[in-house]
């Protein structure tokens, strides 16, 4: 099985919450070229989420934030699995200790969807 998860992880230890470890990472949802050489300028990218109690064993919860148009390695059609946002790349996430909104302590930064690649 070909894995399209590329990385760029942000892992946050949150002693005030369970599960204590939270991870946001980048993945390719599609990679159309053979051999598979994925590119954020050409292929669909996403921000995904996982969580852990010990930082070693991770689960990928079904967050149902994004509906996919067709089956992918991360879920079937109309399932987003653990996808939080399509079209992001190299996203970093951190917990803001001075967050003013109680329900939004995490902040993200990174690139959003890039220009579509055209093969000449």
Average pLDDT, the chain: 75
Q: What ranges make up the beta strands (E) of the chain?
A: 5-13, 21-28, 45-52, 58-59, 83-86, 89-95, 106-111
pLDDT of res. 19? 87
pLDDT of 67-94, one tens digit each? 766 555 555 555 567 888 888 778 889 9
User: Which range, of 4-18, 27-41, 50-64, averages the lowest pLDDT?
Assistant: 27-41
- pLDDT over threshold 90, residue 98: no
Cβ proximity of 114 and 40 under 8 Å: yes
Q: pLDDT digit string (tens) for 28-42?
A: 777 666 556 666 666
Note the pTM of the prediction, 2 decimals.
Answer: 0.74
């Amino acid at each position: 099985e070909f894995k399209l998860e590329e990385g760029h992880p942000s892992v946050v230890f949150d002693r005030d919450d369970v599960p204590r470890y939270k991870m946001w990472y980048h993945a390719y949802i599609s990679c159309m070229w053979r051999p598979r050489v994925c590119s954020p300028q050409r292929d669909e990218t996403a921000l995904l989420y996982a969580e852990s109690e010990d930082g070693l064993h991770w689960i990928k919860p079904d967050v149902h934030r994004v509906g996919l148009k067709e089956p992918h390695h991360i879920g079937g059609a109309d399932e987003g699995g653990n996808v939080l946002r399509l079209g992001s790349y190299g996203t970093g996430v951190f917990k803001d200790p001075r967050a003013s909104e109680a329900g939004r302590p995490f902040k993200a930064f990174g690139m959003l969807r890039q220009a579509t690649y055209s093969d000449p």
